Amino acid sequence: MTVPVWKKGLGLQKVNEVKICREGRWAEKHLASIESAYANAPYLEEHLSLLEKVFSERFEKLIDLNLEIIQHMKKNLGISSRVVLLSELGVEVNEPRLSVEICRQLGASQFLAQSSAKKYLDEEAFEKAGVELKFFNPRPSVYPQLWGSFISNLSTFDLLFNCGPKASDILRACAKIT
C-alpha cells in the first residue's frame, strides 16, 4: 500500500518536507482492505487503533505518519533503540560519506548493514573513522499465516497481526550477523 504525496512542481524534496495528498478515498480504501484481509487474524484488534490513526487526516507530512508507525513497531517488537532524524544531525554529505558521518555524529563504534549493501559502503572510510562494519543476511521469517502456504516478505504488520507478542522472537531468530 502506498500513501500518495504531493510532488508536482516541488522538485527534489527533503524527506521531512514531503506532504501527504489527501485527495480521494485512498485512506478509507486502505483501512477497509486491511480490515477485510485480516478480519480473522488473531492480533488485528491490538493494532486497529494505530491503523485508524495512520489513515485519518491527522498527519500532514509523510515523515510524521512514518514515525508513528516506527514507534508502534518498536513498542510491539521490543526495540529500545532511539530514533534520530538526519535533519537533527546537520550532516550535509551524500553517500559514500553519509553513513560514516552519521556514525561520527552519533559516536557509533559499529555499523550494521545488510550484506547486499557491502558494495555501496566505503569500508576504508569506516575503518579510518574507527567504526566496525558488520553485515547480516536476512532470511525470511516463517510464521503462521491465515491462509495456505507461507508467503514471505509481506510486511511487519502481517507478522504482528498473525503472531502478536511472538513476532519479536520470530524476527530475532532469523537475523544472522557476520
Please give the model's pTM, rounded to 2 decimal places.
0.86
Distance separating alpha carbons of residues 164 and 47, to the nearest angstrom: 9
Distance separating alpha carbons of residues 35 and 30, to the nearest angstrom: 9
What is the rounded (10 degree) CA torsion for 145, 149, 154, 155?
20
Residue 3 near residue 63, CB atoms below 8 Å: no
Distance separating alpha carbons of residues 49 and 138, to the nearest angstrom: 30
Tell the residue number behind the cell numbers 550532516, with chain if given: 91
**pLDDT computed for residue 178 by the predictor:** 53
**pLDDT computed for residue 177 by the predictor:** 61
**pLDDT computed for residue 151 by the predictor:** 92
pLDDT tens for the chain, residues 1 to 178: 899 999 988 888 888 999 999 999 999 999 999 999 999 999 999 999 999 999 988 899 999 999 999 999 999 999 999 999 998 998 988 888 899 999 999 999 999 999 999 988 999 999 999 999 999 887 778 899 998 889 988 999 999 999 999 999 998 887 666 5
**Helix 156-163 crosses helix 62-77 at what angle (to 10 degrees)?**
40
**pLDDT computed for residue 153 by the predictor:** 85
Task: Determine which helix (DSSP H) or strand (DSSP E) holds 153, and give its type and residue range.
Answer: none
